[in-house]
Amino acid sequence: MYTQLFGHYLLNKGIIDADELHAALTAMTRIKPKLGAVAIDAGYMTAAQVEEVHEAQHTADMRFGAIAVSKGYITEEQMLELLARQKNSNLVLGQALIDFGFLDHKHFEEALKEYKKSASYSDDPEDQQMEREMLTVLGIDKMKDSDFYGNYILLFIRNLIRFLGDDFSLAGVSRNVTVSMNYACCQEMKGPINAAVALGGTEMGFIGIAARYAGENLTEADGYTKACVGELLNLQNGLFAVNMSNQENMEIELSPQESKEKLMINIPENGIAINLSFSFGDIKIAVIKED
Q: What pLDDT was estimated at residue 252?
A: 94
| pLDDT of 191 strictly over 90 | yes
pLDDT in tens, 35-82: 888 899 889 999 999 999 988 887 777 889 999 999 999 999 999 888
What are the chain's domains? 2-126 (no CATH), 140-289 (3.40.1550.10)
pTM: 0.74
Q: State the CB neighbour count (10 A cutoff) for residue 231.
A: 15
| pLDDT of 126 strictly over 80 | no
- Would you place residue 281 in the very low, low, confident or very high pLDDT band (cuts 50, 70, 90)? very high
Q: What pLDDT was estimated at residue 89?
A: 54
| pLDDT of 124 strictly over 50 | no
Mean pLDDT of 102-112: 90
Q: What pLDDT was estimated at residue 90?
A: 62
- Would you place residue 288 in the very low, low, confident or very high pLDDT band (cuts 50, 70, 90)? very high
Mean pLDDT of 131-157: 90
- Which is nearest to 54 in space by CA: 38, 72, 35, 41? 35
CA torsion sign for 264, 267, 271, 273 is positive
Q: What is the DSSP letter of 187?
A: E
| pLDDT of 155 strictly over 50 | yes
Q: What pLDDT was estimated at residue 1?
A: 77
Mean pLDDT of 238-264: 93
Percent of the chain with pLDDT over 90: 54
Q: What pLDDT was estimated at residue 125?
A: 43
What is the rounded end-to-end Cα distance, in angstroms, of the chain? 30
| pLDDT of 91 strictly over 70 | yes
| pLDDT of 276 strictly over 80 | yes
Question: Coil, strand, or helix at residue 186?
Answer: strand
Percent of the chain with pLDDT over 70: 95
Mean pLDDT of 135-164: 90
Round to whole Å and give the CA distance between 252 and 289: 13
CB contact at 8 A, 246 and 172: no
- Would you place residue 171 in the very low, low, confident or very high pLDDT band (cuts 50, 70, 90)? confident
Round to whole Å and give the CA distance between 102 and 32: 17
pLDDT in tens, 211-245: 999 999 999 999 999 999 999 999 999 999 999 99
Mean residue pLDDT across the chain:
89
**Cβ contacts of 72 within 8 Å, gap of 6 or more:** none
Round to whole Å and give the CA distance between 277 and 260: 21
pLDDT in tens, 14-23: 999 989 998 8
